[in-house]
């Protein structure tokens, strides 16, 4: 099923957020024309590769995001290439760019220029802090957007430093997915109204909007939840990770009482049935008892035991293990 078949998108983005956005749109059937500058092109082509690796080798990072997209090299310092891009823009449904605010205007390919030749264009800009405002010209990366949105403060163990995620939360949850959502909404609006649509996607603002659980805690108590000690970050025994005998981990996500009761049945711990959400000293004792139990068997032994029980307990897999897990095998 290709619901976006016939939709044409010009992709001016590099690295992760924009290419991830157009990757998702491509999977839904859109045709993506990725425009790269001459020379090194998208920086992602060599991302993570050491200098001694042949220059012709492409980083898996780039391939994962851009496989199957049509790619063309355009030099916007050349009038002829600017015109070529504008010719493409005449029939495109959407343009997605991730330059620093103001750059596309200087290149001669900005929203006002494009809307004059394509009155139904959807023009989306992904940036760290938005197209306007005091922060619009500041540089940043995922870690900075998470830091400013209050997300990074919530990640990590109790009493420890903020933890870094190897999934770029702001780039993807704050950038790629909102951009895809706004582009699709923009295409619908343009088709209905015949008017162009301008989309301003700030990764920091969208990350802040997604920080729901921390906002919940702030609303209840008037204070920011303590890192590693909120209801989804380790405060409760029913929603936690437990180390196993082989140094691996099991994830327990039994938030609802019925699932927690199922966990207690499997572990033969009826004394804990009403303590899944316990806090304070009782909560600490409950977690300690759970830790001691999970430490008696290996991860795979526990996984086999819980496989027959529907109570939200799963093994913590590495990416290599996840890749070969039956869940991700193509039917």
CA distance 101 to 110: 10
Antiparallel, parallel or unpaired: β 31-36 and 8-11: parallel
Cβ–Cβ < 8 Å for 162, 227 = yes
Residue tagged active-site, from 42, 171, 205, 236 = 171
Residue 28 CB-density burial (10 A; 0-12 exposed, 13-18 middle, 19+ buried)? middle
Residue 141 designated active-site: yes
Angle in degrees, 0-180, between the axes of helices 177-193 and 17-27, rounded to the nearest 10: 60
Cβ–Cβ < 8 Å for 111, 197 = no
**Residue 71 CA: distances (Å) to CA of 74, 231, 288, 301:** 10, 46, 55, 48
**Residue 131 CA: distances (Å) to CA of 19, 135, 142, 201:** 19, 9, 17, 8
Residue 310 designated active-site: no
Residue tagged active-site, from 141, 153, 200, 216 = 141
CA distance 105 to 90: 17
DSSP string, 244-257: -TTS-EEEEE--SH
126 strand-pairing partners: 201
Closest alpha carbon to 4 in 24, 34, 33: 24
CA distance 257 to 71: 52
Cβ–Cβ < 8 Å for 206, 172 = no
| Active site residue ranges | 141, 171
């Amino acid at each position: 099923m290709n619901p976006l078949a016939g939709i044409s998108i010009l992709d001016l983005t590099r690295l992760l957020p924009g290419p991830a956005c157009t990757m998702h749109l491509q999977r839904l059937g859109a045709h993506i024309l990725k425009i790269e500058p001459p020379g090194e092109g998208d920086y992602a082509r060599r991302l993570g590769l050491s200098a001694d690796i042949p220059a012709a080798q492409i980083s898996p990072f780039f391939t994962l995001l851009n496989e199957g997209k049509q790619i063309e090299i355009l030099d916007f310092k050349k009038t002829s290439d600017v015109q070529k891009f504008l010719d493409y823009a005449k029939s495109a449904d959407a343009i997605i760019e991730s330059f620093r605010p103001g750059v596309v205007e200087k290149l001669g390919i900005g929203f006002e220029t494009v809307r004059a030749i394509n009155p139904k264009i959807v023009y989306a800009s992904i940036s760290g802090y938005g197209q306007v405002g005091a922060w619009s010209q500041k540089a940043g990366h995922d870690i900075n957007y998470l830091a400013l949105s209050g997300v990074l403060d919530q990640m990590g163990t109790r009493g420890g430093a903020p933890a870094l995620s190897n999934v770029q939360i702001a780039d993807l949850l704050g950038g790629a997915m909102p951009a895809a959502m706004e582009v699709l909404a923009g295409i619908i609006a343009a088709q209905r109204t015949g008017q162009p649509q301008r989309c301003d996607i700030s990764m920091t603002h969208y990350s802040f909007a997604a920080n729901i659980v921390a906002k919940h805690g702030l609303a209840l108590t008037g204070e920011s939840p303590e890192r590693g000690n909120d209801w989804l970050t380790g405060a409760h025994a029913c929603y936690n990770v437990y180390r196993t005998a082989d140094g691996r981990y099991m994830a327990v996500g039994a938030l609802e009482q019925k699932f927690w009761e199922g966990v207690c049945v499997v572990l033969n711990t009826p004394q804990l049935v009403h303590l899944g959400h316990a806090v304070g000293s009782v909560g600490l004792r409950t977690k300690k008892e759970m830790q001691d139990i999970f430490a008696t068997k290996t991860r795979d032994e526990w996984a086999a035991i819980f496989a027959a029980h529907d109570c939200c307990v799963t093994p913590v897999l590495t990416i290599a293990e996840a890749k070969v897990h039956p869940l991700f095998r193509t039917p």
